[in-house]
Structures are given as C-alpha cells and as structure tokens.
Amino acid sequence: MMDLKYGASREKPREDAAMKRFRGHRVGQFIHWGLYALPAGRWEGKDVEFAAEFLPRVAKIPQHRWEALANDFTLADFDAERWADTAVALGARYMTITTKHHDGFCLWPSAHTDFHMGNTPSGRDVLGELVAAYEARGIDVNFYYSVLDWRHPDWRFTLENDADNLAFARYLDFAMKQLVELAERYPSVKGFWFDGTWDESVKANGWWTWEVERMLKERIPGVVVNSRLRADDFGARHVDSNGLLMGDYESGYERRLPEPWDRSVAAHDWEACMTIPQASWGYHQGPWAQSTLKHPWDVVDMIAHCTSLGGNFLLNFGPRGDGSMAPAEVEIARTVGQWLGVNGEAIYGCGFAEGWEYPGWGYFTQDSSTGQVFAVVTREPASGRIRLELPTGMELVGLQLLGSAGHPFNEHPFKRLAGSVFEVDLGGATSAGPLVFALET
C-alpha cells in the first residue's frame, strides 16, 4: 500500500446513521435547472442535438449573450412546492439540485460572484425555497456543485505554466469559499454531489478535493460526499492509487448501470444517475430529446437493478425555463411512484441478496433489516414462467405477490423442479407494471 496523503479516508463503507439513511433511500430525484433551460437546446432557431446544459460550449455562444439570459430568468412559473410534490409522486426519498453547473450560474445569491439569482428579475433564493419545500415533506436535499466553471477567469483545464498555477489556485480558493457559503447558508443539506472534476487541473490538486471533503464534514456532521469530487496524490479519481474508494459512495455511473451480474459492485455504496430523455440533463425542447423519453417500467427496472446490487438510483428532471416541470416527466414520476407505492418494500431499505445469483428475468433484493428476499420480475419470459434458484439447501415454502388485487399479499402457486430450483407460473398474476414476489424460505 502506498502512503497517500490525499487518498481514501476509510477501507470499509460508512455505517453511521446518516450514511445508513442515505443508503436506505434508494430512490432520488436529480434536478438540472439553470439558464440553459431557457434556450432548451435551441439557438438562433436551430436545434443543437446535444445535452441542453452544454449549449453555450457546443453552439459557441459569446459569454455576454449567455449572461444576458439571466435577464429572462424570471421564474414566472417556478414553485418549489410543486417540484417537491413531484418528488413525493415519484417516491423519491432525496433530491439533488444543481446549485451551480458548468456555466457558473448560481441558484443562490452568492457573495463570491455576480452571476447568480440575486442579479435576475425575481432575485429569489431558489435553493432556499427548494430546501424548505422538500424538507417540509421529509425529503433530504443534496447539492450538486460543478467544480468546472467555464465562466470564471481563473478556471484552467490544464496547468501549463506558473501563471496557470497561480490562476487556478485563485479559482480553487473561490470554489472553496462558495462551498463554505453553501454549507453556512443551508446547514440542513444532507450531501454534496460534485461534478466537473475530470480535467488535468483538478486531478493535479488532489489536496484541494481532500480539503473540501474535510471542510464539509467538519461543518455538517454526517454529510455525504460522492466519490466524483476526489483525486488522490497522483491524480487517481474515485478510487485511490491503493484501490480504495474515496468519498462516501461511488458515483461513476452516469447514464449507465453496472452489469446486473457484477456482484463486486455490491462491496461498497454507489449511485447511478440517469436522464429521462436519452442524453440531456437540462430541459431540451427538440424532438432529438423529447422523442426519447424513457418508459416508466424501464425506470422501475433500473431502480430494481440498482437496489439488487446495493446502489441508489437518481432520476433526473429538467424543469423548463419558466420553472414549470415538464408534464411528460411528471407523468413518468407519477407512474413510477404508483408502482413504488405498491412494491416499495422490495426497494426502500433493501439491497444485495447474498447467495442469490442473477436470474435474468429481473432481480433479487433483500431487506437489510429483516432479511426478507424479494423477486422483482421486470423481464417476463415468453414462457410466462420464471425459475427461482435458491441458495443451496434453502427451501421455498411460500410465494406472495405484493399488492395484487388490492391485497398486501396474495399467495401464489409454485412447484419444485429439482433440488433448490422452483418454477413459478406467472399466469393470473396481476399488477400495474413489473411483478414483485415476497419469498418465504
């Protein structure tokens, strides 16, 4: 093992109450909202077929024209209560909001820049309103913060000379001041989700990423920090040069999930984040994005997939420029939330079912407190039958379909094929969306 000054601070997952709470949430609502929601992927009448929040870079928009959007950011239809109601409808237990994305615009009135909500027509503290509305509903709030800042004059992608090093040192000082400001203004925040840390400039300053995590945990005991913030002494990211996870959970899964049979993932905490359109985090009005919205049952499959490997699933919403939630995304939230309302006990507080192999037709999850194992059937075989292969020596004595026909449980028939292999005929099992069985063993 190398002697690292800025490597992982622990070898095993955190087991304190705050981390257990985050782990048990399993389902979160990601929100990307900022000036990019105004053009919504369209510039000078043309759709730019790339993530809406990258528009200023992809369309090469002059800085002054991008900054002028702040004058149009009127929040005409922004209502934090309605956003929070969407999270309740989704069945989300936490929410992660973009406090500052790569363009540098801040959703709070920051004292360290002029590019913030205070210099918009409404002057409203969007973050303050969101924290109040979500916490009033018992939903934890996390802050996304982009270390990458296209606007700041001292930002550097690479460090070529002393001048770059001096400038970037000023930038890191600015970013640290903003993070202290966020921690002081919103002390009830439960986590920080860092992004924009892939450039050489940040990787060469692992000490700063270590200091940020230390500062936040000193100011907000229990706060949860993602691995994407961290670089070690040698620029290794997420996992340090000794192979140990930095931060509190692995956050490398962006618009992708681990292979469902990759049991190694379950060794540590992790979270996957996912867009509803194919590839835009900010609201994109064009058919390039709007024609690719995910089906609610695809979202349910991803939620169960993550839970089965001990991970959280963070589903992204991109509110429109006026502050309203996109109706199609709200509808998806409602359908997923209705499924969770019936089958959530197989998700919330659940995780990896040790000893149960990946079955192919869906996922096994296990309640971390009671040990109850569930089968979530998201890919019903053409045969209409699933095979349950139990850990060797285990007997299946009962099978209950969750929430069917309005009953909390509904005994379902099964038969032994051989040894610890059982077959379940899914015929007659009814439920809106993927079926979930509680296994009695």
Ligand X SMILES: C[C@@H]1N[C@@H](C#Cc2ccccc2)[C@H](O)[C@@H]1O
Chain residues binding ligand X by CB under 6 A are 51, 53, 195, 254, 273, 281
β-pair partners for 225: 192
- On whether the CB atoms of residues 373 and 365 are closer than 8 A, the answer is yes
CB of 131 to ligand X, least distance (A): 20
Which strands form 385-389's sheet, in the order they lie side by side? Answer: 385-389, 421-425, 415-418
- On whether the CB atoms of residues 167 and 149 are closer than 8 A, the answer is no
Helix (H, G, I), strand (E, B) or coil at 433: coil
Query: Given the complex with ligand X, which of 157 and 207 has the nearer CB atom?
Result: 157
Q: What one-character DSSP code corresponds to residue 372?
A: -
Q: Which residue is nearest to ligand X (CB)?
A: 281
- On whether the CB atoms of residues 271 and 251 are closer than 8 A, the answer is yes
439/441 Cα distance (integer angstroms): 6
β-pair partners for 389: 421
CB of 134 to ligand X, least distance (A): 19
- Single-letter amino acid, residue 294: K
Query: Given the complex with ligand X, which of 116 and 284 has the nearer CB atom?
Result: 284
Query: Given the complex with ligand X, which of 33 and 361 has the nearer CB atom?
Result: 33
Query: Given the complex with ligand X, which of 53 and 240 has the nearer CB atom?
Result: 53
CB of 281 to ligand X, least distance (A): 4
Nearest to 30 by CA among 194, 271, 274: 274
- On whether the CB atoms of residues 400 and 409 are closer than 8 A, the answer is yes
Rg (the chain; Cα; Å) = 23
Looking up tokens 């043309």 gives 46
CB of 418 to ligand X, least distance (A): 47
CB of 150 to ligand X, least distance (A): 12
Alpha helices (H) in 265-354, listed in sequence order: 287-290, 296-308, 327-343
Nearest to 351 by CA among 430, 265, 274, 434: 265
CB of 52 to ligand X, least distance (A): 9
Query: Given the complex with ligand X, which of 314 and 399 has the nearer CB atom?
Result: 314
CB of 317 to ligand X, least distance (A): 13
Question: φ and ψ at 323, to 5 degrees?
Answer: 100, -5
Query: Given the complex with ligand X, which of 96 and 335 has the nearer CB atom?
Result: 96
Indicate left, alpha or beta for 41 from its phi (over 0: left) and psi (-120 to 50: alpha). Answer: left
- Single-letter amino acid, residue 250: E
CB of 4 to ligand X, least distance (A): 26
Query: Given the complex with ligand X, which of 157 and 348 has the nearer CB atom?
Result: 157
- Single-letter amino acid, residue 277: P
CB of 127 to ligand X, least distance (A): 17
Query: Given the complex with ligand X, which of 271 and 345 has the nearer CB atom?
Result: 271
